[in-house]
Amino acid sequence: MTQSEFVNPENLFEDDDEDDSGAHEPVGLPSKSFDMSLPDMTQMSTISWANLLRKMNAEINSIGYAQVPTITASRRFDLDGPFSLVPADFDPTKNKKRSLLIGCNYSTHGDDSYGAEIKASHDDVRSVKDFIVNVHGFPETRGLMTVLLDDGDHQAPTHKNITEAFKALSEQSQPGDAVFVQFVGHGGRILDSIINSNGDENPYDELLVPSDYSDSGYIRDTLIFKTLLAPMRKGVSITMLIDCCDTGMVMDLPYSWSTKDDKPESKVRVIDSTICRW
């Protein structure tokens, strides 16, 4: 990895705590015991999008972190509407639920000279897997659920494997399908150009850090867009949960909302991200 990508690897893995800027066989992933009960999980399936982000914000603040939950979207939608991973018009006789779960602990990276190891990423993937299976009915069968973990038992979340999984999802998904993608690991930003000659208010590319980052580099938001979102057929509903520091406006989708400066009594709405950014 060269320094030409405008990233200092020595501080890439420092937490941004002070920054408040935002064949069909079961997949072999053991379940993790939830801290919340199934009724609590079911309640989460009826919460509004806005209140879900507010709950996330409260949880983050309660453990001493300052990251701000942000939602971005390709279209306007009602943030006070019920949170769901499956569209209301989903037809189980025609459509499929597909998922891609990615967790990077970086524990097999070697000397870990940059302090990259994260101990809870695999547990987070197991928790979310339980949630989408038990609450939203996502199947665990191969071909419909893909799990990438750097635990030695699963396919590793390398740069190649992640991008190939993105491509496979976009190729296989059909109109009406519901797609869920989770990434847990390190994230960051790369200066897109040394001189911002276009006057862009956001001259950075957001990035995800695969398990083999020192050999293969990072996964930029532009690559995610090109391999996963742009080729996706019209009519596919896709939800992505990006759980990492400093991803900001990942994928630069046109609409967004953040809990920064949010007041629970105020009416929430997604805004045009090309006009205002958090």
3-class DSSP assignment, residue 53 = helix
- DSSP-assigned beta bridge partners for residue 187: 208
HSE (side-chain half, CA atoms, 13 Å) at 140: 14
104 an active-site residue?
Answer: no
136 an active-site residue?
Answer: no
Catalytic residue among 122, 154, 159, 245: 245
**HEC letters along 179-238:** EEEEEECCEEEEECCCCCCCCCCCCEEEEECCCCHHHHCCEEHHHHHHHHHCCCCCCCEE
Catalytic residue among 122, 159, 186, 244: 186
Question: Could you tell me the sign of the dihedral formed by the alpha carbons of 148, 112, 14, 254, in that order?
Answer: negative
Rounded (5°) CA angle 107-113-119: 30
CA distances from 46 to 52, 78, 236, 273 (A): 10, 14, 21, 27
Integer Cα distance of 163 and 158 in angstroms: 8
Q: Which two tokens stand for residue 200?
A: 């862009």
Q: Would you say 222 and 230 are in contact if contact means Cβ atoms under 8 Å apart?
A: no
Integer Cα distance of 135 and 138 in angstroms: 8
Find the radius of gyration of the CA atoms of the chain: 18
CA distances from 232 to 102, 177, 237 (A): 19, 11, 10
Active-site annotation, residues: 186, 245
